[in-house]
Structure formats: structure tokens, C-alpha cells
Amino acid sequence: MSEVVCPRRALLAGAGLTMLLAACGENPPPTAPSPSQNTGSGNGDGSLVKAADVPVGGGVVTADNVLVLQLTAGTFTAFSAVCPHQNFRLSPPDPQGLITCVAHQSHFKAADGSRVDGPAPSGLSPIAVQVVDGRVRRVG
């Protein structure tokens, strides 16, 4: 005895599979935060941001994607603010010193840029900085 297949049911099953496959496809690339979430900007002389604009215990992301940190008063460090996973722009650390990539939840230590967990294959790239005339500048 052969099975009778309802053409309507087969069509609906096919449409459902197509919708399921579309829903399971690769996520679209994350969008970067709006420019209003950035502060500071490069100006060609390595200047990144006014030192006074970097909060103690936190940091800022400059327009050219540098995360400038002042975890302790008067000590400035910097990392690339581009996540090493899929290049999403990172935000400053939380009060516990953890940087979270909102795209896929990679976490990094603000203290040294090392990867804590998540899909990022590595930690953050350090950028050497110093304060000159009240501004945080790249070194080299």
C-alpha cells in the first residue's frame, strides 16, 4: 500500500523549511554604536583625547577606535577598540574592569586587554600612549 502525500501539506512543509533555514542563517554583521557614543578624535599628531575627558576608573572610545583608559588616577593605557572577533566597536569597561563586546559577548580585562571568554580569538591590541600638554597621545 502506498502513502498518499497531500500536495498542500508538502508545499507548507517546504515553505516552513525555507523559513527555518532563513531564520538559522548567519546573523547580519553587528552595527557599530552611533558616533555620539564616541569622544575625542585623532588630529594627525597622535592626539587621541584630552586627559581630563578620560574618567578615573574607566575610559573613552575615540572616533578612531582607540579605547583610552585611566584605571587609576594619572595612569593612562590604551587598546584597539575593535573586537578581534568580528571587528565590532567596543565600549569602555564596567566598574569591575571588564570590557564586554555586545556583539557576541566576548569579555576582556581592562587591566591588560586579555581575553576572558567568548568567541574572540585573542585579547585586545595594546596601543602605547603618553600624556603631553594635557592630551593623551599615541607614542611612536
Binding residues for ligand FES (CB under 6 A): 83, 85-86, 88, 101, 103-104, 106, 118-120
Least distance to ligand FES from the beta carbon of 80, Å? 12
- Nearer Cβ to ligand FES, position 46 or 97? 97
- Nearer Cβ to ligand FES, position 59 or 135? 59
One DSSP character per residue, 13-40 reads: HHHHHHHHHHHTSPPPPPPPPPGGG---
Least distance to ligand FES from the beta carbon of 40, Å? 22
Cβ–Cβ under 8 Å, residues 59 and 99: no
Other CB atoms within 10 Å distance of the CB of residue 62: 22
Least distance to ligand FES from the beta carbon of 82, Å? 9
Other CB atoms within 10 Å distance of the CB of residue 100: 16
- Nearer Cβ to ligand FES, position 89 or 135? 89
Element (H, E) at 7: helix 7-23
Least distance to ligand FES from the beta carbon of 47, Å? 27
